[in-house]
């Protein structure tokens, strides 16, 4: 099937899938990450706020945002970010009981106590960027229709049902053995397009439409990596190691017309293709 025919099929699914209204779920705030903080709390707060302002200025009610929590020189080619979460514009209740507009962040985090398992955690932009190696964020702003569908999935019981707690750092998105943060966001995306949380249907759609990132690891690292890296498994892989990354998610959203914008944010501003959009109230 050509990309044009696949795009048409996805568009048809997006138009036909039901959309049920729901209320945003309440989850406990938590901080999770993989490295020691390298920036002060003030620097982190400033960067988090700049990303929030950029999203709000573009009218983004739901966005996919990625962060870099490891030294980029240590990452395999094709992997530019180490975590992806879903940012949802919401009414936030502060510690002193005030209700303010802002972004809540919905994540799959690996357990610190059990690296082979994960949990779903809702936190906030400051938490999201608390343990980053570089002040850089990858951003996908979906189309307004796709934002609405993502918000409805996140607010529904389907969101929790899409979670598989069996974690692998390099989870193969074409199989159901493991899940990581990015493959979870991919599953939420497919659920939003097709209006289903049936994992078999979602996996079939991933196989049909999604092109994973092939990670180039030499045979010794592949063979011995699971012994030395917590939370890394390769028994769900063939000779090629396929995984979902921010780059492959962005490519999917752009290929099938699901993205309004894709860009990066650094302390000096936006790197990418900015476009005008109405600011949020």
pTM for this model (two decimals)? 0.83
Helix (H, G, I), strand (E, B) or coil at 54: helix
CA distance 156 to 171: 25
Q: Which residues contact 208 (CB under 8 A, 6 or more apart)?
A: 1, 6
Task: Note the pLDDT of residue 281.
Answer: 42
Extended beta strands in the chain, E state: 62-67, 83-93, 99-110, 118-123, 137-142, 213-215, 241-243, 259-266, 269-272
Q: Looking at residue 172, what is its pLDDT?
A: 86
Identify whether the C-beta of residue 131 lies closer than 8 Å to the C-beta of residue 67: no
Write the pLDDT tens digit of every residue in 34-46: 455 579 999 999 9
Q: What's the pLDDT score for residue 12? A: 54
Low-confidence ranges of the chain (pLDDT < 50): 19-34, 220, 223-224, 227-228, 274-281
Look at residue 123 in the predicted model and tell me its pLDDT.
93
* Predicted local confidence at residue 206, as pLDDT: 95
Residue 262, both tokens: 């894709």
pLDDT of 277 reads: 40
- Per-residue model confidence (pLDDT) at position 92: 79
């Amino acid at each position: 099937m050509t990309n044009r025919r696949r795009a048409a099929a996805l568009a048809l699914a997006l138009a036909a899938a039901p959309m049920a209204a729901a209320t945003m779920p309440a989850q406990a705030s938590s901080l999770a990450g993989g490295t020691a903080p390298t920036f002060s709390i003030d620097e982190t707060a400033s960067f988090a706020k700049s990303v929030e302002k950029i999203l709000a200025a573009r009218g983004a009610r739901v966005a996919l945002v990625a962060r870099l929590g490891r030294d980029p020189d240590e990452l395999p080619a094709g992997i530019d970010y180490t975590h992806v979460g879903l940012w949802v514009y919401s009414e936030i209740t502060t510690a002193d009981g005030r209700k303010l507009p802002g972004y809540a962040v919905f994540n799959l985090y690996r357990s610190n106590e059990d690296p082979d398992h994960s949990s779903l955690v809702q936190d906030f932009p400051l938490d999201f960027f608390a343990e980053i190696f570089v002040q850089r964020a990858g951003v996908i702003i979906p189309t307004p229709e796709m934002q609405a569908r993502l918000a409805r999935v996140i607010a529904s019981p389907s969101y929790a049902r899409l979670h598989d707690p069996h974690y692998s750092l390099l989870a193969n998105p074409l199989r159901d053995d493991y899940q990581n943060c990015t493959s979870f966001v991919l599953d939420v995306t497919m659920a939003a397009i097709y209006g289903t949380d049936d994992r078999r249907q979602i996996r079939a759609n991933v196989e049909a439409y999604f092109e994973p990132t092939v990670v180039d690891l030499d045979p010794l690292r592949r063979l011995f990596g699971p012994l030395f890296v917590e939370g890394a498994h390769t028994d769900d892989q063939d000779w090629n190691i396929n995984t979902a990354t921010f780059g492959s998610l962005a490519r999917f959203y752009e290929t099938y017309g699901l993205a309004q914008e894709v860009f990066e944010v650094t302390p000096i501003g936006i790197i990418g293709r900015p476009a005008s959009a109405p600011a949020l109230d």
